[in-house]
Every structure is written in C-alpha cells, then in structure tokens.
C-alpha cells in the first residue's frame, strides 16, 4: 500500500504526539511492498556513542530492513535500499528523513543530528521518528556508479521509494502516520534535501539543507581542476606524483586567514576576531597586496608570487579553454585556516573526488579495471575541462539519465510545488566551505527570489555561517539548531529571522580546537537571513549574540 500524498499543507497545525503501540513484532507481521524487515527491537533509554560523540537517547524502537533487493546487471553485485528507522516510545508526531552525506553507502544511525557542529539535540531526542538509509548501495565506494539503477537511487529515487515505506511503517508502529514530515541533511545530504524540495514537495512539509551541493557534479569536477592548479607549486612525492599538501602549508593558510581578519574584522562594526560581513570583505581584502611576498625561503610568514597566482586562480573558479566559467569560486574568509578546508583541497581530489567523478558524475562511467590501473592522483591530473567536463551532461543507451539530470534538482529555482502547498525550507551554508561553493548557494537564493517575484523568503530562507567550513569546523560559531526553527515556521507560522549559534569552546560536547584563543569559549552570534549580516549594536558584550543585530 502506498502512503497518501499530502495535498495542501494544513495551515498552522502542530503535529500531535502518540505512544508506541508495536515494535518487536513488526519484523514478523508487517508486509510492505518490495520490503524485507530484517529486525525490530526495543532499545532502552541510555547513551549512544557514534564516533567521538555520545548522545543520550530515549527509549525507542529500532527497525532495520531492505527495499528493492536485486542483482546488478552490469557488475553482478547485490543492491538494495538499506535502511533503519528509530521511533521513540513517546513520539511527537513528526517524521524526519535523515539524508546522509558523502557517497552514502552506509546506514548512519538514525538520530537526526543534522544541524551544525556536534548537535546537542538530534531529532530523535526531540521526539521525531527518524529514517536513515544507504541510498541504494552497501558500501561508500564509487564503483556502484557502473550500475544504472544505483546511480538513480543515489541521485533521487531512494528518497522517493523510502519515504512512503517509512510513513507506512510509522503508522503500523503508532496507529497513525506522521502529522508532519521533514527532510534534512548536510553536504550530499543537503543536496538530497534540495532535490527533495523540487521532486518530493508533496511528501514533505519542511526541508532543511545544509552546505548543499546543489550542483554537485560540477563541484566534484572542480576539485580535480583545483588539484591541477596546486600541483603547479607542489613538490613531488616518492612516486613522482604531486604532494598537494606542500602547495600551501597550514602555517601559510593561517597567515592568509590572519590577514583577512586584519582587513575585514571591523566591517561589521567591531573588531572581535570574527568576520561577519564576508561579502563586503571580498572587495577589501587583496591577496597580492595584503599578504607579504616571499623573497627567500617559505617559512609561514610570506607567500610566494607563484602561490599567489595559483590561489587567485582557484578562488576565482574554473574556466574552460574558451574562458567560460564552469563553477563559482570561493570566498576569501578566515576559515581558510581550517583543517577541513585544506582536506577538501588536498586530500579529497585524488581520493573521493576522483572516484566519484570517474564512476558517478560522468557518462559513461570508467571501468573498474581502467581506474585501478592508475592512481587517483593520475586521474585527477588527466581530467580535462574541455573534453571530460561535458560528460556530466552525457547519456548512453545503458545510462539514459545524465549525472546532471539525476543529481541536481529539476528547476532548482522554481519551487512552486513547495510554496503552493505551504511547505517551508531553510538552507544554511558555511562561508568557508571549500568544496561546495557558498557563492553558488547565494546565487541560487538570488535566482530563487527573482523567479518568485522577490517573495521567496515567504517559504525559503538562507543562513550563512561566517568562518564555518564544510558543515562544521573552522573559526566559527558552528553549533546551532535549524530544525526547531523550521518546525516553528511550518507548524506555527513563525518565520525565522535569526538563529543563535554557539562556539564550541571548552565545555562543549565536542570542542572545536580551531577557535581563536581570543574568543570566549561560550561566544554566541546571530545567524542572519541572507543577505543580512550580524552587525554590532555599538555597545554590549562582544561575546554575546544579544549585542548584534541582523542588518
């Protein structure tokens, strides 16, 4: 049976709570189309540790299963939509699809920790029923890209298939389906959310997209181009391949960061070691002028003219041989000193990005044998913007949907479906994201506003997070909850003008070691609806969000 699609969103109707009625018998008694429930168990209240973070979780029902099990016709591998659903005993009546990041390929525990760095109140803790999935392939390896259906599942069809299944499962567990449904994630999960806002607006009341790769195939290909630029000033490793980490050292990025702060700190009305007006900073900071030139050995106190040339090219964004811009560049932001920033520039291109472009984001995909015959760095160095980049948009008889078609939101700047049924959307993006350009997201918001007659903020709002890297980290107040404001907007009509963000200093659940020593461990800042910026009121504690207003 299919879950009924939402028609018009009931105006200002809050979700109604319910109590779990069924759990351990779901695996044996529940029959859903193309679905095999492999286990259902009651988990007692207690602590759940994932990586370095321990979260107290309520008593809940944990259901695991698979949908659409099959054998791939190209590689003979086993495929399915693997999932888990966690449903609290005391339920708030809401459903959250936890869209995961990266290449997917693993079922991240369904806690719904979707906002900022080390969230303190994941959706499960707030009382949501939460779904997590592997998006249709069992390992976070790019080789699934040889399978035509796995590509489509990863791009958008996993959300389309799993959503009605999860709603029916929830109905069986509580005796009623969810009153409100939300889709949320960061990075590729943010892309899933953006696609959901376009393709599945009838299924979701609220969308939360963090640091979204709106146009992910272009961003991934750009990463390979960045590696080629850095290779021009990098030394060689023992195998004769460029050692990208030598192109710009942590000390050199820290130097650039400090010079950005020097030039742009006071643009928001106070010198507090934090650049809030990042857009204005772009016209004030000049790499050539403001960072000392090396006249001798590179020692972290200067940048060579060759390095400056490479960095200027990279931050401007890629162009093909015709001079056509292919993807937006990157903002100069103090967050360039973040370890996450450099990871995406140096570590990711020959590993994650090479594989994803070779198998998922171009058509036809490379053969596994051909890919393994060379290193990821070789693939990155050989990628050609003129001949390989267009394969993002290509199709074949075996792969009839292009990577661009299945990875990006159809009509990304026309969200009439979401708007017309009363749905709401919040997007947030770190201004020092080094893989998915925050400029790209800002331009998307500008275009969304233009398409909807400058009234898009009645249903969609963008919040920039100064200094934050990709989803978290960097010199930023990067701990915040965007889910609660989204719920209040959907269910109470309270449109969010600001969201308070915290620094993760000493005493935080996970400490951010990249915070400047001059900051209070408990610094707070208002995150503002784009294009507004948090500006100092002229008086008050500079460590407190209450001393700043969005203007």
> How do residues 514-551 score in pLDDT, each as one tens digit?
999 999 999 999 999 999 999 999 999 999 999 999 99
Sort strands 242-243 and 235-236 into parallel, antiparallel or unpaired: antiparallel
CB neighbours of residue 324 within 10 Å: 10
Q: What is the largest CA-CA distance in the chain?
A: 75
Band of residue 119 on the pLDDT scale cut at 50, 70, 90: confident
Nearest-angstrom CA–CA distance, 401 and 410: 13
**The pLDDT of residue 13:** 84
Give the pLDDT confidence score for residue 5 in this predicted structure.
44
In this prediction the pTM is: 0.96
Q: Which residue of the set 115, 172, 181, 187 is catalytic?
A: 187
The string of DSSP codes covering 26-50 is HHHH---TTEEEEEEEEEPSEEEEE
Distances (CA, A) of 192 to 153, 183, 434: 11, 8, 19
Worst-scoring range by mean pLDDT, 6-10, 12-16, 164-168, 362-366?
6-10
Counting residues of the chain whose pLDDT is more than 90, the rounded percentage is 93
Dist CA 409 CA 422 (whole Å)? 19
Q: Is residue 70 predicted with pLDDT exceeding 90? A: yes
Tell me how crowded residue 373 is: count the other CB atoms within 10 A of its CB. Answer: 10
pLDDT at residue 114, as a whole number: 87
Q: What is the 3-state secondary structure (H, E, C) of 444-479?
A: HHHHHHHHCCCCHHHCEEEEEECCCCCCCCCCCCCE
Question: Does 364 sit behind a cis peptide bond, omega within 30 degrees of 0 on the bond before it?
Answer: yes
Residue 4 pLDDT level (bands cut at 50, 70, 90): very low
* pLDDT at position 95 over 50: yes
pLDDT, one tens digit per residue, over 285-337 is 999 999 999 998 999 999 999 999 999 999 999 999 999 999 999 999 999 99
Cα 91 from Cα 96, distance rounded (Å): 12
Give me 404's structure tokens.
């661009």
Residues 486, 426: contact at Cβ < 8 Å? yes
Q: What is the pLDDT of residue 361?
A: 98
Q: How far apart are CA 385 and CA 453, in angstroms?
A: 35
pLDDT > 70: percent of the chain: 97
Q: Which DSSP state fits 337?
A: G
Phi/psi zone of residue 136: left (φ > 0), alpha (ψ -120 to 50 degrees), beta? left
Average pLDDT over residues 39-68: 91
Selecting among 470, 478, 481, 547, the annotated active-site residue is 470
Q: By three-state DSSP, how is residue 380 classified?
A: helix
- pLDDT at residue 51 tops 80: no
Residue 294: strand pairing partners: none
Q: Is residue 11 very low, low, confident or very high in pLDDT (cuts 50, 70, 90)?
A: low
- The pLDDT of residue 2: 40
pLDDT in tens, 125-154: 999 999 999 999 999 999 999 999 999 999
User: Catalytic annotation on 470?
Assistant: yes
367-409 pLDDT, tens digit each: 999 999 999 999 999 999 999 999 999 999 999 999 999 999 9
Task: Identify which has the larger pLDDT, 474 or 49.
Answer: 474
Residue 526 three-state SS: strand
> Are the beta carbons of 68 and 161 closer than 8 angstroms?
yes
Mean pLDDT of the chain: 95
CB 280 within 8 A of CB 244: no
pLDDT tens for each residue of 194-244: 999 999 999 999 999 999 999 999 999 999 999 999 999 999 999 899 999
Lookup: tokens for 409: 């939101």
3-state secondary structure (DSSP) of residue 367:
coil
Q: Residue 105: what pLDDT?
A: 96
Taking CA atoms, 187 is separated from 86, 122, 246, 449, in Å, by 22, 17, 27, 23
pLDDT bracket for residue 10 (50, 70, 90): low
């Amino acid at each position: 049976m299919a879950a009924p699609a939402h028609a018009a969103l009931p105006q200002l109707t809050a979700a109604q709570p319910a109590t779990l009625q069924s759990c351990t018998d779901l695996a044996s008694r529940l029959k859903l189309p193309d679905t095999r429930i492999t286990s259902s168990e009651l988990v007692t209240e207690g602590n759940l540790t994932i990586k370095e973070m321990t979260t107290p979780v309520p008593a809940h029902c944990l259901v695991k299963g698979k949908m659409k099990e099959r054998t791939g016709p190209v590689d003979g591998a086993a495929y399915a939509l693997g999932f888990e659903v966690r449903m609290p005993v005391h339920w708030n009546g809401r459903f959250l699809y936890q869209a995961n990041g990266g290449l997917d390929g693993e079922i991240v525990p369904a806690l719904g920790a979707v906002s900022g760095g080390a969230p303190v109140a994941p959706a499960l803790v707030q009382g949501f029923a939460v779904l997590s999935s592997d998006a249709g392939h069992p390992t976070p390896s790019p080789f699934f890209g040889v399978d035509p259906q796995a590509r489509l599942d990863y791009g958008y069809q996993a959300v389309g298939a799993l959503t009605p299944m999860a709603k029916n499962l929830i109905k069986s567990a509580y005796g009623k389906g969810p009153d409100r449904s939300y889709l949320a994630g960061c990075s590729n999960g943010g892309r899933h959310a953006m696609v959901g806002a376009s393709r599945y607006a009838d299924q979701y009341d609220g969308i939360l997209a963090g640091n979204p790769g709106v146009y992910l195939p272009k961003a991934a290909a750009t990463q390979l181009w960045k590696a080629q630029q850095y290779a021009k000033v990098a030394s060689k490793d023992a195998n004769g391949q460029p050692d990208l980490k030598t192109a710009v050292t942590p000390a050199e990025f820290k130097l650039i960061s400090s010079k950005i702060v020097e030039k742009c700190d006071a643009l928001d009305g106070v010198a507090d070691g934090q650049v809030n007006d990042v857009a204005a900073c772009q016209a004030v900071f000049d790499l050539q002028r403001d960072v000392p030139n090396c006249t001798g050995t590179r020692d972290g106190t200067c940048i060579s003219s060759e390095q400056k040339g490479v960095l200027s090219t990279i931050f401007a964004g890629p162009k093909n041989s015709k001079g056509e811009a292919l993807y937006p560049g990157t903002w100069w932001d103090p967050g360039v000193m973040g370890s996450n920033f450099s990871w995406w520039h140096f570590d990711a291109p020959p590993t994650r990005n090479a594989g994803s472009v070779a198998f998922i984001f171009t058509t036809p995909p490379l053969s596994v044998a051909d890919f393994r015959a060379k290193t990821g760095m070789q693939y990155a160095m050989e990628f050609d913007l003129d001949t390989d980049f267009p394969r993002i948009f290509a199709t074949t008889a075996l792969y009839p949907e292009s990577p661009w078609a299945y990875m990006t939101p159809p009509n990304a700047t026309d969200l009439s479906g979401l708007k017309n049924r009363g749905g709401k959307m919040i997007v947030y993006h770190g201004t020092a994201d080094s893989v998915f350009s925050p400029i790209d997201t800002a331009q998307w918001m500008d275009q969304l506003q233009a398409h909807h007659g400058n009234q898009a903020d009645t249903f969609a709002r963008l919040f920039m997070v100064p200094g934050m890297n990709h989803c978290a980290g960097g010199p930023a107040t990067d701990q915040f909850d965007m889910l609660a404001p989204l719920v209040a907007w959907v269910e109470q009509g309270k449109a969010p003008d600001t969201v308070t963000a915290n620094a993760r200093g000493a005493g935080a659940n996970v400490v951010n070691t990249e915070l400047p020593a001059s900051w209070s461990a408990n610094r707070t800042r208002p995150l503002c609806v784009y294009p507004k910026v948090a500006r100092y009121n002229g008086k008050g504690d500079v460590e407190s969000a209450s001393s700043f207003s969005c203007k």
